[in-house]
Amino acid sequence: MDTVTTRHQVVILGAGPAGLTLARMLSLQNVDAIVVETRTEDYVRERVRAGVIEQSTVDVLTELGVADRLHREALRHDGFYLRLDEQTHHLDFHALTGRNAFVYGQAEIVADLIDARRGDGAPMVFGASDVAVTGVDSATPVVEYTQAGRRHRVQADFIAGCDGSHGITPTLMPADTQVMTRTHPFAWLGILARTAPTTAEGMYCAHPDGLSVHSMRGTQITRQYLQVPADTTLDDWPDERIWSELRRRSRSSDHPELETGEIFDRSLAPLRSVVTTPMQFGSLFLLGDAAHIVPPTGAKGLNLAISDACVLSHALGHYYGHRDRTHLESYGETALPRIWQAQLFSWTLTTTLHRFDDNPYSWELRRARMRRWIDSEAEQRALGEVYLGLPFPTPWRPE
Ligand SMILES: Cc1cc2nc3c(=O)[nH]c(=O)nc-3n(C[C@H](O)[C@H](O)[C@H](O)COP(=O)(O)OP(=O)(O)OC[C@H]3O[C@@H](n4cnc5c(N)ncnc54)[C@H](O)[C@@H]3O)c2cc1C
């Protein structure tokens, strides 16, 4: 097979939120990058995942010129609802912080970023196979892949590992890299359904038998989740069982019963917490899910991926603008404090809202914590500051 050799300053592996956002940031700084993705473009554009995004993320996407559709179509939320003991409470974080959260699907953000990149005429490869990376411990790393029957060899200065938790770049880190992991003993069964949302904003329903989460993707489509055992399969969950369990766990005395409708997408997501440190090795930098994972409970994963892209884009801007490596060398140290705040937030929400055992003591402790969230303004403000997004560690390009 022919091999075509090319050179780019940066190779970005993965066309998820981390990779495509970094690509846009570098493009606007005239840094020459190529995006290499193993999946097809259609698959990437349609993958259903995140939906709740922070104000800080929206602000960056706006600066990057990729948020026109988001501003037209996203739902703006002030906080979320918490249902406890069949009573519904609104936690109004906007009133306490002046900020908002936005509901706009991850697939839409990805599509907007792909369209912008295509508009720039910048290189982007989908459907790459047999991706191999060598020389990350040197200043001349190489990425090879096959596409449309040709082998490609790309020489670069840096590799951005944006290939998610199952990608290859996390496996290229040295043996003494610390990968701190906590696996939760349950999963989330997620559905998309044609029904109107029960509440105007997302809602967590805490129930002694387990959590249910009610979110939306517009006025007629809902995204709902059920806490389920980690070893369950989708075959265990016919539609009637999903609706009956969602209804049971979300029953209230102050709202009508949950509407049911056609379920047109369903998936299972394990709940894991992971932090990799350091986040860089030689010319390789890990971003987003390739470096850390939070359970979806706190809606933080995509937001962290974009925050990492800011930190690396800022550092690469310094490097290519001034040949200054300082920010590259401190990439992980700069990104990690915000990552740990998101880990703590997701951990707090996960351990408070989910059922871990059938000990009544555990349920009463969790109830007591939720009552503080409902009754104390100080608790609500602290929760809201992180839910709506702590400031990003750096701007996306040098000031
Ligand atoms: C059910 C669920 C709900 C969620 N809800 C939220 C939410 O509301 N808010 C939020 O902020 N986050 C949420 N998240 C988390 C969010 O979806 C992820 O954190 C986010 O996708 C991470 O982006 P990423 O770009 O780092 O990785 P990914 O989105 O995983 O992208 C990685 C890309 O790399 C590609 N790839 C893999 N291997 C290779 C390779 N060898 N070479 C090249 N490319 C490769 C993959 O195909 C993929 O396209 C949710 C997650 C789940 C599962």
Burial track 24-56 (b if 16+ CB lie within 10 A, e otherwise): bbbbbbebebbbbbbeebeebbeebbbbbbbbb
Q: What does the pLDDT look like over 141-168, one tens digit per residue?
A: 999 999 999 999 999 999 999 999 999 9
pLDDT tens digits, 78-116? 999 999 999 999 999 999 999 999 999 999 999 999 999
Structure confidence at residue 198 (pLDDT)? 87
- Please indicate whether residue 54, judged by its CB atom, sits closer than 6 Å to ligand 1: no
The active-site residue out of 320, 387, 393, 398 is 387
Among this protein's residues, is 395 annotated catalytic? Answer: no
CB within 8 Å of 285: residues ≥ 6 apart: 158, 159, 160, 161, 279, 312, 328, 331
Give the distance (Å) from ligand 1 centre to CA of residue 165. 8
What per-residue confidence (pLDDT) applies to 102?
96
**214 assigned to active site:** no
Residue 320 is a catalytic residue: no
Q: Look at residue 357 and tell me whether its pLDDT is greater than 80.
A: yes
Set out the domains of the chain in order of their start, with CATH numbers.
3-77+100-180+272-354 (3.50.50.60)
pLDDT per position as a tens digit, 187-216: 999 999 999 998 999 999 999 999 999 998
Average pLDDT, whole number, for the chain? 96
The structure tokens listed for 242 are 């999903």
Q: Which residue has the tokens 């991850």?
A: 106
Q: Quick check: pTM over 0.85?
A: yes
The pLDDT of residue 51 is 86
Q: How confident is the model at residue 1, as a pLDDT?
A: 76
Give the integer Cα–Cα distance in Å for 131 and 143.
7
pLDDT given for residue 50 in this prediction? 80
Task: Give 277-287 pLDDT, tens digit per residue.
Answer: 999 999 999 99
How far is the centre of ligand 1, averaged over its atoms, from the C-alpha of 162 (Å)? 9
**pLDDT value of position 247:** 96
Q: Whose CA is nearest to atom 50 of ligand 1?
A: 50
pLDDT digits (tens, 9 = 90+) for 19-35: 999 999 999 999 999 99
What is the mean predicted confidence (pLDDT) over 50-57? 91
Tokens linked to 395: 């701007």
Q: Say yes or no to pLDDT of 48 above 90.
A: no
Percentage of the chain lying above the pLDDT 70 cut? 100
| Per-residue pLDDT at 217 | 85
Residue 240 has pLDDT above 90, yes or no: yes
The CA–CA distances, whole Å, from 115 to 45, 73, 287, 310, 339 equal 10, 17, 22, 20, 29
